Each structure stands twice: as C-alpha cells, then as structure tokens.
Amino acid sequence: MKPLGEPEIRKSFVNCSKGEAKGLTLPARAVEIPWPELEFLGWRDPKAASRAYVVLWHEDEVVGLSLRAADQPTSRLKSGMCGFCGTVHGLADLSLFSSRRAGQSGKDGNTLGTYLCANLQCCRYLRGKLQPDAIQPAEHLTVDERIARMETKLHRFVTQVLETR
Ligand SMILES: [Zn+2]
C-alpha cells in the first residue's frame, strides 16, 4: 500500500473520537513499516489490549477503523477462519472484533462484528511470513489471488462501516 505518515494515520479514523485517535499507540514508526507488503495496516494497541486498529486506502482516501476485541470467543467451535484473509486459527489466535459504524449510526451504538486474525497480521500470513498454528484447508490459489480475495473482503467491510444511512 502507499505509505502513510503518522499525522495521516491519526487523521484517518472514521469511527472513534479525536481524543482516541490522538492518543492511540502506533505499531511502529511510520518509516519502519513495510508498506509494500501490506494491503492494510492492522495492529493491537500495545497499551490497551482490547483495542485494535485497521488503516487502509479505500477509494483513494485513507480510512482508519477503531475496533474492539471481545473476550475469548464463547463459541463451541475449536477453530475458525479470519474474515479478511481466510487463515484458519485455533480460537486463541482468532478474535471477535467489533467496529462502531461511522457517523450517527455508530454514536447510536450500531456496530459490525467479524472474526479476524487476533494479531491482525493477515498480510504476513498470506505471504507466508507468519505461519498459523492450525492446519489450513487445501486451496489452489496463488498468493496474489488470496490477496485479491482479502482486499475484496476488506473493502466490503469498510463500505459497511461507512454506510450510515
Ligand atoms: Zn487474517
């Protein structure tokens, strides 16, 4: 993805207060982030474990989403799949994230939820830079095809968060 600077990242958030955006902890200094290997920047706030952030280019604009991780899933399933990258994880490595919708809808308490890689490192899983613990289903897609599929899901999610009417 096209590189971003810290002020751009902080200004991008569509579903949290200016105070939260200003106070959140970035994953690294912007110059240290490997932008060409990312479709989105995703991270857990190192100082607030339940908080997570996703920042990406969406229709030529930078959009940042503030997410909340639920406590460990109460599902009876033993594993599940990330809603972005499709990586299968045991429940310890999967989190249910909720995103407040943008605008008044979010202020009224409307959220969207999805299971995602708990560390939000989807881009690294897809490139084989991180290995999931769980066994993956056999799939005959190239890395590029998997990335394209993730981008479709990502943008669909962002579109839903931004839909305020
Ligand atoms: Zn993922």
**Looking at the domain assignment, is residue 165 inside a domain?**
no
**Looking at the domain assignment, is residue 27 inside a domain?**
yes
Range of the domain at 30: 6-159
**Looking at the domain assignment, is residue 147 inside a domain?**
yes
- Identify the CA nearest to 103 among candidates 56, 165, 51, 54: 165
Report CA(89)–ligand 1 centroid distance (Å): 9
**Looking at the domain assignment, is residue 65 inside a domain?**
yes
pTM of the model: 0.94
**Looking at the domain assignment, is residue 118 inside a domain?**
yes
The tally of domains found in the chain comes to 1
Q: What is the pLDDT along the chain (165 residues), one digit of tens a residue?
A: 999 999 999 999 999 999 999 999 999 999 999 999 999 999 999 999 899 999 999 999 999 999 999 876 566 778 899 999 999 999 889 999 999 999 999 999 999 999 999 999 999 999 999 999 999 999 899 999 999 999 999 999 999 999 975
**Looking at the domain assignment, is residue 114 inside a domain?**
yes
**Looking at the domain assignment, is residue 164 inside a domain?**
no
Tokens describing residue 47: 């100082």
Q: Which residues surround ligand 1, an ion (CB under 5 A)?
A: 82, 84-85, 87, 117, 122
Query: What gap in Å lies between CA 66 and CA 10, rounded to an integer?
Result: 11
